[in-house]
Chains A and B, each alone.
Chain A
Amino acid sequence: MKRLVFVLIALTLFKFAYARIVIDITQPGFSQISLAVKVQWATEEEKKLANTLFEVIRDDLILSGLFDFLDPILYVEPQNAAIEPPGLDFSAWKILKTELLIKGSVSIEASELLNRMVVELRAYDVFRQEMIIGRRYRAKKEEVIRIGHKFCDYLLKEFTGRAGCFDSYIAYMSDRNKIKQAYLTTIDGKQTSLLTPQKRIHLSPSFSPDLKTLVFSAFESDHPCLFGVDILSKQIRKICCYQGLNLGASFSPDGKKLAITLSKDGNPEIYLIEAANGNVIKRLTSNPRIEVSPVFSPDGSKIAFVSDRTSAPQIYVMNADGSGVTRLTYEGNYNVSPAWSPKGDKIVYESMIGLGFDLFVVDVNTFEVEKLTENEGSNEDPVFSPDGRFIAFSSDRYGNYDIFIMNFYTRVEKRLTQGLENDTKPAWSPVLGE
């Protein structure tokens, strides 16, 4: 996706007048804010874009768990009312007990040649009749989804002090073409593209911190080698292909190194390699049993991984140089697939319960464990979103494996993929730049 081009206008001056209310969803006193969203249009083509924008904003804000959405059926305001005062009549919204009102419009520029539109968005505190944030975007029509996400990201920053991550990607593996390949999707599920069209088994996708590359493993001559695909150009290059496994690479925060499982020295162990060319920097583990699934902590100082050195797989943490190995999970006999929270204080993982798996979170400092899923099929491959609000994972609760997004605070789950294929192993990208 090309860089989003937009123009911030002077509306931001109004921000200073607004006394920001900071909402904390984890506080016991929290109650959802009632929300209305209305995006206006004039022509049929603008209507389509406006509806898409409306859906994106509505779905993102519902997903955040902060808002209680008012159905448009209830709106009484005239169809083409102004999007800002003095034309905007707040009483039409106070009647509905709306607390947050988002008004917007889409107008396609007259010159079709340029394929441009202008999107106006305003978020209002209805009670105070004040604007919280306002944005004007001038962009290509295809950017409408990203505009909606970006706006919500800013809005959450205003409301909670922490920006949202709706403008990001999820990569995942799907066997819809009869063989596991990597797909890229926006988190609304509306735009999906195939990243790795080769007919080979693909495994373990992982984003580079600069969002330019997705690394993955794919079978070549009977064993998994490490590849990287450029997200923009879709060009694939081989990073390394040591004998045996080249599996489960995770970037260091500076993007220069990868932690990875190699078995070239006779046993699956964790190594540090150069992200550019796959050269081995250091071998980190030396245990005759299985060592896999290394993941760098967000600050790059530690690596979590899976080891069955006690004869059952458990989650461990070590320093990024391989020293100081500490066991993290003591409950359950089979704990795999660790992923860090963006603050580095928690690790989410899957634990075998009965005939399937459930998601758990362990506090890295206190070792306290929290269970996230229950009686909903087998839930696996969890990863945190870059803002820590969500966990993406795969679940077979409806038959085949689908990708789901769970709100970490409310535990509400939303299904992202459908269909008869198996969609597994999501990776969540960093938030897209401007």
Chain B
Amino acid sequence: MNGRKILWVLVLAVACGLVLGGCCKGKDDEIMKAETKIKAAKDVGAEKYATAKYQSAIETLNKAKEAKCKDSIALAQKAQQLAEDAKNEAILCKDREQKLAEVEKKLAAAENDPDIVKYAADLLDQAKKLDAEARIADCGKGLDLASKIEGLLNQAYAQAEAAKAKPVVVAIPTDMIHFDFDAYNIRSDAQAVLDKLADALLANPNAAITIEGHCDFYGSNEYNMALGEKRASAAKDYLVARGISADRLSTVSYGEERPVRECKSIPDCEINRRCEFKTK
């Protein structure tokens, strides 16, 4: 053979090779693009966060590799699209997971905050409802809801702050306490009433009260004036021990002069052996 023939075969072979390669011209490109996109999706965690779409992209790429030229390019392009979608979803869902975790932590804190529970219970409830929704919603909605939850919690804290700063008008309970005959010690049933009163006074630092001491009619009016005063003082001392400052509590005695009603015996007269509490 001569040299020219070998050259033509070579050129033909190269040409053919080129043509062969060229008539699936772009296939490799597309496949390479798809592989790059799939890698990019994997890098943002699409395997975990957009599993379905990711798997789909890989399958489609494999099909593209095996398919004939025209089909291959189309499949590869589809694979690219899927990979893109997977990547986007992965980013969204990762964000959602993070955000929701953040927000749920804040939500838990708010639930344990007595001020929020007291002053912004309604907002707290709304946030909890949205959280339940966010957990089952898709990632986009979930992320959206998480933001809303965060907004509600911020509102709740602001509301609680404002409410605390305002002087709260707490009703001072005006239940009476009663005493044994000729006694001025505070009984246990009286302690319960005084505890409630102390709480109300602590919650309302501007309130002041008058404590009235009263007696039944047994005994001289003079002795009962003194006994009434001892009863009022005993109630005052108890409240002071609970942290109420003494200058908020004034005492008066009416002795036997102002009974609740007529009474006939020592047990019956307990109604009159009492302290009354009047807001000023």
A binds B: yes
- Whether the pair A244, B229 counts as a contact (CB closer than 8 A) is yes
Q: How far is the CA of A291 from the CA of B230 in the complex (A)?
A: 11
From B13-21, B43-51, B143-151, B218-226, the one touching the partner chain is B218-226
- Whether the pair A350, B265 counts as a contact (CB closer than 8 A) is no
CB distance from A8 to the nearest CB of B (A): 43
- Whether the pair A292, B223 counts as a contact (CB closer than 8 A) is yes
From A47-55, A271-279, A306-314, A408-416, the one touching the partner chain is A306-314
In the complex, A222 has a CB within 8 A of chain B: yes
* Chain A residues near B227 (CB-CB < 8 A): 290
In the complex, B60 has a CB within 8 A of chain A: no
- Whether the pair B252, A334 counts as a contact (CB closer than 8 A) is no
**Residue among A222, A247, A308, A355 making CB contact with B225, cutoff 8 Å:** A247
Q: How far is the CA of A292 from the CA of B226 in the complex (A)?
A: 7
| Cβ proximity bits A298-316 to B, threshold 8 Å, 1 near / 0 not | 0000000010100011000
* Chain B residues near A245 (CB-CB < 8 A): 225-226, 229, 253
Q: How far is the CA of A16 from the CA of B266 in the complex (A)?
A: 62
B210, B221, B225: residue with the most chain A Cβ atoms closer than 10 Å: B221
* Chain A residues near B122 (CB-CB < 8 A): none
- Whether the pair B223, A336 counts as a contact (CB closer than 8 A) is yes
* Chain B residues near A417 (CB-CB < 8 A): none
* Chain B residues near A222 (CB-CB < 8 A): 210, 252
Residues of B within 8 A of A (CB): 182, 210, 218-223, 225-227, 229-230, 233, 252-253, 257, 264-266
Closest A residue by C-beta to B219 = A336
- Whether the pair A306, B257 counts as a contact (CB closer than 8 A) is no
* Chain B residues near A357 (CB-CB < 8 A): 218
* Chain A residues near B257 (CB-CB < 8 A): 180, 201
Q: How far is the CA of A425 from the CA of B264 in the complex (A)?
A: 21
- Whether the pair B226, A204 counts as a contact (CB closer than 8 A) is no
In the complex, A263 has a CB within 8 A of chain B: yes
Q: How far is the CA of A191 from the CA of B264 in the complex (A)?
A: 34
In the complex, A107 has a CB within 8 A of chain B: no
- Whether the pair A425, B221 counts as a contact (CB closer than 8 A) is yes
A204, A292, A380: residue with the most chain B Cβ atoms closer than 10 Å: A292
| 27 examples of A-B residue contacts, CB within 8 angstroms | A201-B257, A203-B225, A223-B253, A245-B225, A245-B229, A261-B222, A261-B226, A263-B226, A263-B229, A267-B233, A290-B227, A291-B226, A292-B220, A292-B222, A293-B220, A293-B222, A293-B223, A306-B220, A306-B222, A308-B182, A313-B223, A334-B218, A337-B220, A337-B222, A337-B223, A355-B264, A424-B221
Main secondary structure of the interface of A (DSSP, over half): strand
In the complex, A163 has a CB within 8 A of chain B: no
Main secondary structure of the interface of B (DSSP, over half): mixed
In the complex, A125 has a CB within 8 A of chain B: no
| Cβ proximity bits A341-382 to B, threshold 8 Å, 1 near / 0 not | 000000000101001010000000000000000000000110
* Chain A residues near B225 (CB-CB < 8 A): 203, 224, 245, 247, 292
A222, A350, A355, A424: residue with the most chain B Cβ atoms closer than 10 Å: A222
Q: How far is the CA of A88 from the CA of B221 in the complex (A)?
A: 55
Please name the 9 residue pairs, one residue from A and one from B, whose CB atoms are nearest each other, closest first: A268-B226, A222-B252, A336-B220, A248-B222, A290-B226, A337-B220, A292-B226, A292-B222, A293-B222
A222, A290, A306, A312: residue with the most chain B Cβ atoms closer than 10 Å: A290
* Chain B residues near A380 (CB-CB < 8 A): 220
* Chain B residues near A267 (CB-CB < 8 A): 230, 233
Closest A residue by C-beta to B255 = A203
- Whether the pair B229, A203 counts as a contact (CB closer than 8 A) is no
Q: How far is the CA of A248 from the CA of B229 in the complex (A)?
A: 15
Closest A residue by C-beta to B264 = A355
* Chain B residues near A268 (CB-CB < 8 A): 226, 229-230
* Chain A residues near B221 (CB-CB < 8 A): 203-204, 424-425
A312 with B222, Cβ < 8 A, contacts A222-B252, A223-B252, A268-B229 known: no
Q: How far is the CA of A224 from the CA of B252 in the complex (A)?
A: 10
* Chain A residues near B265 (CB-CB < 8 A): 355
CB distance from B213 to the nearest CB of A (A): 11
Q: How far is the CA of A43 from the CA of B210 in the complex (A)?
A: 65
* Chain B residues near A308 (CB-CB < 8 A): 182
CB distance from B60 to the nearest CB of A (A): 94
* Chain B residues near A290 (CB-CB < 8 A): 223, 226-227, 230
Closest B residue by C-beta to A291 = B226
Q: How far is the CA of A263 from the CA of B210 in the complex (A)?
A: 17
Q: How far is the CA of A413 from the CA of B226 in the complex (A)?
A: 31
- Whether the pair B182, A334 counts as a contact (CB closer than 8 A) is yes
Closest B residue by C-beta to A201 = B257
Interface residues of A in 283-342 (CB under 8 A from B): 290-293, 306, 308, 312-313, 334, 336-337
Task: For the A-B complex with A222-B252, A244-B229 known, give 14 more contacts whose Cβ atoms are closer than 8 Å.
Answer: A201-B257, A222-B210, A247-B226, A263-B226, A263-B229, A267-B233, A268-B226, A292-B220, A292-B225, A293-B223, A306-B222, A336-B219, A352-B218, A355-B264
Q: How far is the CA of A266 from the CA of B264 in the complex (A)?
A: 33
* Chain A residues near B220 (CB-CB < 8 A): 292-293, 306, 336-337, 350, 380-381
Closest A residue by C-beta to B226 = A268
Q: How far is the CA of A425 from the CA of B210 in the complex (A)?
A: 29
CB distance from B33 to the nearest CB of A (A): 95
Closest A residue by C-beta to B218 = A352
* Chain B residues near A244 (CB-CB < 8 A): 229
